[in-house]
Structure formats: structure tokens, C-alpha cells
Amino acid sequence: MKKCILIGKSNVGKTSFFVSFVEYLGIKRLNILFKGPQGGFQYRSYTTEMAKSLLISESPFKTKEICEIGISVPVYKGNKVFQLQDTSGIVDGMCRDDEVRKSMVLTFKTLEEAGIILHMIDTSRIFRRGESTIGPIDDQINLYGTNRGSYCILASKTDLEDGEKGYELLRKKYCNSLVIPVSTFNQRGYKEVMEFVVRNL
Amino acid sequence: MNLDFMNSQSYYVNSFKEGKISTNEVFDKIFLSGKRRKLQNNAVDEVILSNSIAELNSLIGLNNVKTLVDELLAYSDIQRKRRENGLNTEPMALHMVFKGNPGTGKTTIARLLGRIFKGKGLLETGHLVEIERADLVGEYIGHTAQKARDQIKKALGGILFIDEAYSLARGGEKDFGKEAIDALVKGMEDHKDNLILILAGYKDEMDSFIKTNPGLKSRFPIHMIFDDYSLEDLLEIAELMLEKRQYKISLSGRAKLSQILASKRARDGIHSGNARLVRNLIESSIRKQAVRLKTNKGDHTIEDLMMLTREDFIEY
């Protein structure tokens, strides 16, 4: 089964997208496989509401494990299946927290094995000083992704103020890659993401 | 796969876990191998591109080469479009073999290709490093690999052009030429997105060279054959060269030149030198003309200074 990874800096909205995208696909009950940094794993089952309140948080590094969910989509007369993986965010530069570093290693491992890469960048805070969401690590992921193939950028939070401006900037900056604007607020771009994933299965 | 990945990179992963190196560093090491950093982000340079394509089209003959360049340019355009639309793109290996007799334009084309690829953003600098056996093969064990690596380093971002490449296989099993081939193959695989390797030489020798080294054939997908020029082509080349140097040739001079070329070709066959023979003949006739004008005392008109006549062309 092909694996489709959501990757990006911390707090760009990976988990929000994960839950809301699964909801968009009509899956009522989320059976998520959690893979911990130590190698342990565990199945848990959530309703959409539970998942939203338990998995998503305002503060960075909420997701410490790899959350994996099997998805099946109808294509013509049959079905295609893939696994969507939500990962722990990666940060630029030196990181002081041991736990966070371990989960980043796990993210790298998952990236290596992934078949499709969805690279998420927050559009709403690109222009805000001091906490800009675009960093060297994004360039690195982009470079890796464009050379690997099956790679696209999800420009998240486009419904927020400055979102459109950020999306335009992303399109210019990464002109070699496909950039899809998405928003968990109004489900913008979900159809395009679905089409992109199916095309690469 | 997974184990492999963690083992080969485990040193960096461990230092990262211990908090000794930054996220960016570890990402570079495990995913970008520290060296693949610049590829594919080279900008397209329209000026260089259109100039060099115009120069290519002004060359006489070489029709198959021109077709191939068109193909490569179209391919890279479509790849760019595909990438923009999120479709997969395979980086294409552009290593080539040039087969042809001396003076058929192999080096000229290699130099032009460098500029075209640079203009297209396929290569970073597009310079040409021209080497031969002596630049690659060392004197003692281990020397060769080092020498080959140095040459590759020099050529990164451009084209490494190996003239008379078949001579690397000369000298039998114990010759260091084999070692050079291995080192080159390694280098071209490692830097396949930022280096183009061109092997050049006589057609028959190159064919048997590639046949005897099975690893080479699949690694050089593009084979270009440089045919000998016809007599008409050579005369056209002569006129182009004269035009560039602001000289003219009289009718009888042209007949003499044609006669010399024909007899040289009949006598020397593949070693006649093709376009290089034309260049040498023209350069010697220019010298002869200078001597002739100096001995004829008196004023020289512009016409005199430009015109090459029958007596200036002498077979050497």
C-alpha cells in the first residue's frame, strides 16, 4: 500500500488537515494507528469530534507520534487504497528538547518510506515578523521532494488574513512544484489534493 | 530498506538525537547527501540559449546532431511543465558518445552543448573540460582514481569531454585505464544531475570500446554519429571561415582549393582531417597571400588585401 506523508514545520496545521480531510472523504470513525518513537504502536478509534478535540492543539509539537490511517477512494469502478500519515513537525536549527528530536527522527524515517509527499506550509504567517513559517527546512524538503517526485506543497490556512498573499508568494518561490491552496475552514483545495494523490497511486 | 537507511545514516541520526547537530544538517545528510543541493534550480538564460542555438544552426551539415538537440530541448521543456503540474519527472541521463573522424565537429558541438544546457538550466555553468588518457591515468596503484576524481571535480556543473576515449581500454588487463573507467562511471552516477560526460573518438574504435565494457553501454544513452563532410560541405565551410576572417576567394582559387581537398581525401581517407584540413589550408593560404603581397611592391587596394588567389593555395 502506498504511503502518503504530511510533512512540514510545527504548527502549520498538519493534524487539522489530517482530521478534516478524512472527514471530507466521508469516514465517520477514525481508526488510527499510532507509531511511537520507541517503536511501539497502538490502535485507537475516534469519532471526528473526538479526534478534533484530542489530537489538534494550538501549541506546537502536539503530535509526537506517526498517526496512520487507511483510506480507500473510489476510482472508476474499483477502489484505490493508501495510507495517510500525519507526522510530528520539524523545526529549523538546533532543537533542545530530547523528545521532540526523537519524534523528528521518526518523521525522517517515515519520509524515507513515503510514496507521496504532501509538504504543508502555513500561508497566514509568512509575513509576520519573528515567527515566519517559511524556513530553510522548507527549501530542503522542497528540493528533496522535487527530485523524488510525487510531491506537492499544501498552502494551508488560506482563509486567514494574509493567506492569499502567502499563497501567491509560495507559488512564486516554489515555481517548480505544484502548490495547492487548502483551508480546513472551508475545505478549499481538498478535491485537488484528492486528485493529486489518486494520480500518484 | 529501512534498516539500510538507518544504518548508513546512523551516525548523523545519532548525533542529531544527542542534540549535537541541527535539523537542517541532518536533513541534508540523510536526504540530500550534502551534495545534491543545487540541482534543478538553475535559472533559464534566454540570451545564452538563443545565441548558442543560432550558432548551432549556422554550422554546416550535422543534421542528426541538430535534430537531437531539438529533441533534448523539447524534452526538458515538457519536463518543466510536468513538474509545475505535479507530475513525476525522471532526471534524464545526458551522457553521450560522439563517434566520428577527426575534424567532424565533435569538440565544437560539445562546447556548444555546454552553453545550450547552461542556457536551458540543465547545467550550472556549462563549461567544457577537455581531457585525454594522460590526464586520467596515473603512474601507480591508487593514483588513477585520485586523478579521475580531480578531473570530475573540475568539470562539475559542466561537461567532461574525453577525447580518444577508447585509449583507456588500451594496454590490456593490467593497465590503469580500467581503473580510470571505473572511477569515471562512479563519478557520473554520483553527479548525474550536474555533470555530463562525453566520450569521443573514431567510430570503429569507440564501438568496440563500448562493446568490451558492458557497463558503459547502458550508461551512455545518447550516441551521436559525426559523418565525414562531403566536398561541397567542406567548400561551404571554407567560405564561412573566410567570411569570418574577412577574406574572399577568387574563382580559380576556389577550384584549386576543391582540387586539393579532393586529392587529400582520396589519399588520406579518414585521417584527412575534414573541417580541420580546411582550416589549415586557409590559414596557410592567408600566410602565402601575405608573402605575395609583400613581394609585389606598390599600393594594395582593399580588394587585394582581401582576395586569395589560385597561387596562394598550395598542398602541403
Sheet strands side by side (includes B128-131) = B128-131, B159-162, B196-201, B96-100, B222-226
Q: Is the pLDDT of residue B247 over 50?
A: yes
CB A11 within 8 A of CB A91: no
Q: Specify the CATH architecture of the domain A2-199.
A: 3-Layer(aba) Sandwich (3.40)
Q: Which amino acid is at A155?
A: A
What pLDDT score does B160 carry?
93
What is the model's pLDDT at position B43? 67
pLDDT at residue B161, as a whole number = 93
Chain A interface mutation, best of B24, B39, B78, B122, highest count of A Cβ atoms under 10 Å: B24
Residue of A16, A35, A12, A15 lying closest to A102 (CA atoms): A35
Phi then psi for residue A178, to 5 deg, are: -80, 125
Cα B28 from chain centre? 32
**pLDDT average, residue stretch B124-137:** 87
What pLDDT is recorded for position B41?
52
Number of other CB atoms surrounding residue B281 within 10 Å: 24
Distance CA B275, CA B262 (A): 13
pLDDT classification of B3: cutoffs 50, 70, 90: very low
Segment B166-211, tens digit of pLDDT? 888 877 667 788 888 888 888 888 887 788 999 999 888 888 888 8
CATH number, span B231-312: 1.10.8.60
Q: Could you count the other beta carbons within 10 Å of the beta carbon of residue B84?
A: 13
B86 to chain A, closest Cα gap in Å: 5
Architecture field, domain B46-226: 3-Layer(aba) Sandwich (3.40)
Of the listed ranges A134-148, B22-36, B40-54, B122-136, the least confidently predicted one is B22-36
Whether A85 shows a pLDDT value over 80: the answer reads yes
Amino acid at B1: M
Residue B255 CA: distances (Å) to CA of A58, B40, B156, B229: 88, 52, 47, 18
Domain ranges of chain A: 2-199
> What pLDDT does B297 receive?
75
Q: Give me the count of residues in chain B.
A: 316
CB contact at 8 A, B274 and B101: yes
Mean pLDDT computed over B137-146: 85
Q: Among the listed ranges B59-73, B121-135, B168-182, B301-315, which one has the minimum average pLDDT value?
A: B168-182
- pLDDT attached to residue B198: 93
Nearest to A178 among B19, B37, B85 (CB): B85
Which residues is A9 bridged to in the sheet? A90
Query: Minimal CA–CA distance to A104: which of A119, A89, A122, A85?
Result: A89
State yes or no: pLDDT of B7 exceeds 70: no
* pLDDT reported for residue B35: 47
Q: Is the pLDDT of residue B110 over 50?
A: yes
CA pair distance A43, A34, nearest whole angstrom: 6
Residues of chain B contacting A152 with CB distance shorter than 8 Å:
86
- Which residues are registered as beta bridge partners of A79? A74
Q: With contact defined as beta carbons under 8 Å apart, do A16 and A56 qualify?
A: yes
Q: CB B121: neighbour CB atoms within 10 A?
A: 17
Residue A143 has pLDDT above 70, yes or no: yes
Question: What is the Cα–Cα distance from A121 to A138, expressed in whole angstroms?
Answer: 8
Beta partners for residue B7, in sequence order: none
Give me the count of residues in chain A.
Answer: 201
- Closest B-chain CA to A110: B2
* Cα gap A42→B37, rounded to integer Å: 38
ipTM of the complex: 0.77
Distance (Å) of CA A60 to CA A55, A100, A127, A182:
12, 10, 19, 20
Q: Whole-angstrom Cα distance, residue B85 to residue A176?
A: 9
- Please, which residues bridge with residue A36 across strands? none
Residues of B in contact with A182 (CB under 8 A): none
User: Rounded to an integer, what distance in angstroms lies between the CA atom of residue B16 and that of residue B29?
Assistant: 11
pLDDT tens per residue across span B16-59: 878 778 888 888 877 776 444 444 456 677 888 888 888 888 88
More confident residue, A35 or A127: A35
> Confidence class of residue B124 from pLDDT cuts 50, 70 and 90?
confident
The answer to whether the predicted template modeling score (pTM) of the entire model surpasses 0.90 is no
Nearest-10 Cα torsion for B185, B187, B190, B191:
-120
Residues B114 and B112: their CA atoms lie apart, in Å, by: 5
| Residue from A3, A10, A99, A101 whose CB has the most chain B CBs within 10 Å, to mutate | A101
B310 DSSP assignment: G
Residue B111 CA, chain-centre distance (Å), reads 5
Q: What residues does B177 pair with on adjacent strands?
A: none
Question: Which of the residue ranges A81-95, B111-125, B170-184 would you say has the lowest mean pLDDT?
Answer: B170-184
Half-sphere exposure of B188 (CA within 13 A, CB side): 25
Nearest CB partner across the interface for B40, out of A108, A112, A146: A146
Calpha distance B126→B116 (Å, rounded): 8
Report which secondary-structure segment, H or E, holds B161: strand B159-162
Query: Whole-number mean pLDDT of chain B?
Result: 83
Q: For Cα atoms B100, B103, B108, give the angle at the middle one, nearest 5 degrees.
A: 90
Question: Which amino acid, B252?
Answer: S
pLDDT surpasses 80 at B5: no
Every domain of chain B and the residues it spans = 3-31, 46-226, 231-312
Interchain contact, A93 vs B26, CB within 8 Å: no
pLDDT at residue A119 in the model: 92
Which pLDDT score, from 0 to 100, does residue B9 have?
A: 67
| Identity of the residue in A95, A98, A150 whose CB atom sits nearest the CB atom of B88 | A150
Mean pLDDT within A1-10: 88
